[in-house]
Amino acid sequence: MHRTGVILLALVLARMHDAVAQRSASASRGGGGGGLWYSVGVAPGWARVTCDICAGRRQTGGSAFLGVGGSTSRALRVGAELAGWRQSEGGVTQTLMSVGAAAYWYPNVQRRFYLRGGAAIVMHRASDGTDVVTSSGIGPQLGVGYEYSVSRAWRIAPFAHYAVGVVGGDVKFNGGQAAGSATVSFFQVGASLTRR
């Protein structure tokens, strides 16, 4: 399941890369749009795993994300993103990773407010040093943000982003199947710094 999800995600990202490269080449010939961007962000994060045998409590921890991509027009930028989350309590360490592709749409010409949408594979791991429980799923990621210019190239943005893995979800205990139909969700509220 994990291998299939990663392969599908790699194909989507490769297709997006080709589209961005074509648009950037068009922009360099005067077609508009184009331009590489990259972004980093830190935020409090909340993660939850729900399944037949899971507690389903939303846990709070520290999180961060990285993104890189290209602008296809003045109103749209696309890219690949990696987000991580970590929390330790009572001898149990939980980590979460979200790998996905996202598009940022700016509905106004000032390009400040954006809506974010895409798809991601969300993977959760909990370990007490002896036993390991892993969960994963593929699903949508959504978000909103508002950018402020701090220089000609840099923008800072408060944001709220949400990713949920609902397709192909499973739970494994020490590598063996423990439950099916897992949902892994991840929510961030913080600030990002973007250069473009």
* 2-195: CATH number: 2.40.160.20
Q: For position 85, what pLDDT does the model report?
A: 96
The residue type at 134: T
Mean pLDDT, rounded, of the chain: 83
124 is written with which tokens? 């959760």
Which parts of the chain sit beneath pLDDT 50? 1, 5-6, 8-9, 12-13, 16-17, 19-32
Query: What are 10-22's pLDDT values in tens digits?
Result: 554 455 445 444 4
